[in-house]
Structure 1
Amino acid sequence: MTFSSSVLPSILPYKCANHMDPSTCPPNQLQVITFYVSLYLVAFAQGGHKPCTQAFGADQFDQNDPLDSKSRSSFFNWWYFGMNLGILFTTLLTYVQDSISWGFGFGIPCVAMLLALIVFLSGTRTYRYCTLEETSPFIRIGKACWRASTGKTQQIGNEGEEAKRMLRLFPIWTTCLIYGVVFSQIMTFFTKQGSTLDRRIGKSFQIPPASLQGIGVLSILTFIPIYGHILFPAFRKLTGLQSGITMLQRIGIGMAISTIEMVVSALVEMKRIRTAQEYGLIDSPDVAIPMSLWWLIPQYVLYGLSDVFTSIGLQEFFYGQVPDALRSLGLALYLSIFGVGSFISGFLVSLIDKATAAQGGSWFPNNLNHAHLDYFYWLLAVLNTLGLLIYIHFARAYAYRKIGCSDI
């Protein structure tokens, strides 16, 4: 799709008739079809690429080898580093597409994907593959559930252990959903906050609101090496564990930091509203508030720090704690935390908006200067704290499984 978007004239934006504004020109049918097919292709490709490629990469490390076991833990750190580095490069692509050419802008990722595919295929003969049982794990787990429901518990055996293992993941997955809600704020209300502030750097350059997310990405890229080279050795000396801290401890630390992130965000929002009131800009949503963009830096930095702990910990946890044949599904469970968390965030906003609007003071009006984002951030801080306490309860009772892989 990136190739066709860059070379096929029929799906490129065309010049408007009668000197119309290009932004008001209706797209032709082929352009509409191409747009929606592209979206579905991206979703389909990501659904297979994200969990499977990461699981396959982690499979290259033998958990029974102490050196490989240590390297596998680092793999998740550097995988996430590479992914966020790619996200940072997309901000440059946006500039290329807007300032140079859409075709050239789509051509760059097309060439990058082609090169990545060639590099991936070149290692086919050297990859390590895991030998798995011939029977589908879904069938085995389904049989165990059916036998348990019919009272034939003596016939369950190893199949029952696999089913129990999957069920034990559910409390951890559930209690991490509130983190997914907090995570979604960087792409929504954090950006909205930034759009009302003074985003000028120098006399002429102004940072686009959407580019503010790059601050969070930069903080992730900064903290991953710090964790790997400073915190990880310190944790290992302190605990005596090869991994430094356990996966669940890492997740819990990130959730605690995300609570602090929400508290800081609420305080900054209170400062923003107070500044708007002082300068008489409450009823002027289109006028930038004389408050520097840099006030948002602490919450973006805390977001990056919490993400380094929680997201990478979740990846490693759900990869290692599912049955060997379901590792891709395990990583899909990790990704679903953020998808479901985003839906929960939208539901909360809609519910709170209806409840508060009925009382004459919506928390989320169109004019952000009349909004109460600080109340919402305080609410998320409380919910995240409650979720963390419940998470700690289940994490303390959780029994880890050993990970093994046979080479063929």
Structure 2
Amino acid sequence: MSIGASGVRPCCLAFAEDQIAHWDDNRKDRALRGLFSWYYVSVGFAQIVAVTILVYFQDQMGWKAGFGISATVMLSITVVNLVASPFYVKVKPQKSIWISLLQVVVVAVKKRHLVLPETHQSVQFHNAWGSRELVPSEKMRFLNKACILSNHEPIVNDAASSPSSWNICTVDQVENFKSALSVIPMWSAMIMTFLIQSSSFGVLQAATMDRRIGTEKFQLPAGSISIFEIVTFTVWSGCYDRYIVPLLRRITGRQQVLTLKQRMGIGVFLSIASMAVASTVETYRRKAAVREGLQHDAHGTLQMSVLWLAPQYVIIGLAGAFSSIGQIEFYYAVLPKSMGSFVLALLFFGAGVASIMATLVVKTINLITGRNGMVRWLSNNLNEGHYNYYYFLLAIFGVIDLVYFIVCTYVFDERTLNMSLEMGGDAKEMVEFQEASSNHGCEN
């Protein structure tokens, strides 16, 4: 599944953008406004189907049916894509962005003893055929060694006679690598939001609560409790640009309501709030279990509605809508267009790192709290454990991460980065471009 997902998730938005890259500017701009929102809505809709219909069949017919339906749906979609393939715009694959970035590191290490001149006038740089970036930026100057032509390396004017990329890189490659390094602090500050959103202990909580909703006959499957998060994420994603932003503009009287970094920061703050709410609800749920004499009964059902868990999932959904969507639009705004697939890869890489971190946190907590025969915080019996302490600890981690994020926002200057990426562009135009990206990240 991971190998398959790695082929789909980082490429879908970049592939969709390829379909309209040849359109005229006005038509393309209108299409790009809706591309991001519809992508998030489609992902949210798929998740809603997964945690409702698919989980229902799984509960009623077993795991074989659940996996079988999933496999059938994916096979059907594969056939549809193969049939529609002739109608797609398929851009020929270029050199891998990952290999290109690695080459910058290798060449910079090889040329580490090279002395950088004070000015660009006394040095020649290697440029790709047709490139607009003639000289590298002054940011991270030590990487400029990778694109300096030494005395024994001839200047070439065509791609066929270009020297090996493992011996010298182009200015474009170096600037792309600088761009990737520039967003790493912001990227690292957002990992905590993924860690919080990846928590699945709510399913265990739901399994101990009264899951009847509206009628005695219908029970919400414990595995469907995340429906509140997914619906919130989907509705907010679909409505934000079309309804919420215009409303906020009328209320504030400002054209620029929230920048991309502010939206990401709101996502971090909401993640903290979700864990604070989760800790409070779990404290109340555990007290109810003790009061009803179910402290030592891991399978008992409380007289407490599962809807108590809804608020924390709604807040997590909002946090995801602000942080994940804000991240993608932020990366698209500040990174070169050639790194489109790298943007989503960076997002999902962060989610993977967060999952590993979450596993380490859980193992460490149980190792420390389970010493000397004490009941672990994350015991198999929720009524004996202290999951409320775990949620509160995540909230504390979130506060620390919020401080780190604020520091990163002051250090990172996307306007300077954008100007360095657009060699030959007018500075005023780049400022206007960034202001537009803050309001409509999907237009970039």
The TM tier, using the shorter chain, reads 0.7 to 0.9
> Secondary structure, in 3 states, of the residue corresponding to 2:376?
coil
Residue of structure 1 in register with 2:121 after alignment: none
Which stretch shows the higher mean deviation, 51-60 or 273-282?
Answer: 51-60
Alignment of 1:277-296 (within 5 A): 277-296=290-309
Shift of 1:147: 5.9
Counterpart residue type for residue 162 of structure 1: N
Matches of 1:247 and 1:166, distance apart in 2: 17
Match of 1:372 among 386, 393, 412: 386
Residue of structure 1 in register with 2:313 after alignment: 300
Residue of structure 2 in register with 1:335 after alignment: 348
Extract unaligned runs of 5+ from structure 1. Answer: 1-41
Matches of 2:112 and 2:316, distance apart in 1: 44
Matches of 2:290 and 2:95, distance apart in 1: 66
How large is the RMSD of aligned CA atoms in angstroms? 3.0
Q: Does 1:229 align with 2:190?
A: no
8 A contact 1:320–1:327 mirrored in 2: no
Shift of 1:215: 2.3
Q: Does 1:200 align with 2:212?
A: yes
Counterpart residue type for residue 357 of structure 1: G
Write out per-residue CA displacement over residues 22-69 of structure 1, whole angstroms, 9 at most, x where no aligned residue.
xxxxxxxxxxxxxxxxxxxx3222111110122222455669957745
Matches of 2:402 and 2:92, distance apart in 1: 35
Residue of structure 2 in register with 1:112 after alignment: 77
Q: Does 1:252 align with 2:265?
A: yes
Q: Does 1:191 align with 2:203?
A: yes
Number of paired residues?
356
Matches of 1:272 and 1:328, distance apart in 2: 44
Matches of 1:369 and 1:132, distance apart in 2: 56
Residue of structure 2 in register with 1:52 after alignment: 11
Match of 1:79 among 12, 17, 39: 39
Alignment of 1:12-27 (within 5 A): none
Residue of structure 2 in register with 1:30 after alignment: none
> Secondary structure, in 3 states, of the residue corresponding to 2:10?
helix
Match of 1:142 among 86, 105, 109: 105
Identity %: 26
Q: Does 1:269 align with 2:232?
A: no
Counterpart residue type for residue 190 of structure 1: G
Shift of 1:146: 2.6
Match of 2:255 among 240, 259, 264: 240
8 A contact 2:55–2:224 mirrored in 1: no
Residue of structure 2 in register with 1:312 after alignment: 325
Kindly indicate which of the two structures has a greater share of residues assigned to helix: 1
The alignment's TM-score, normalised by the length of structure 1, stands at 0.78
The alignment's TM-score, normalised by the length of structure 2, stands at 0.72
Matches of 2:20 and 2:407, distance apart in 1: 31
Distance 1:112-1:351 versus aligned 2 partners, 3 A rule:
same
Distance 1:191-1:97 versus aligned 2 partners, 3 A rule:
closer
> Secondary structure, in 3 states, of the residue corresponding to 2:379?
coil
Counterpart residue type for residue 255 of structure 2: G
Extract unaligned runs of 5+ from structure 2. Answer: 118-124, 126-143, 148-170, 423-444
Match of 2:222 among 165, 189, 209: 209
Distance 1:147-1:330 versus aligned 2 partners, 3 A rule:
farther
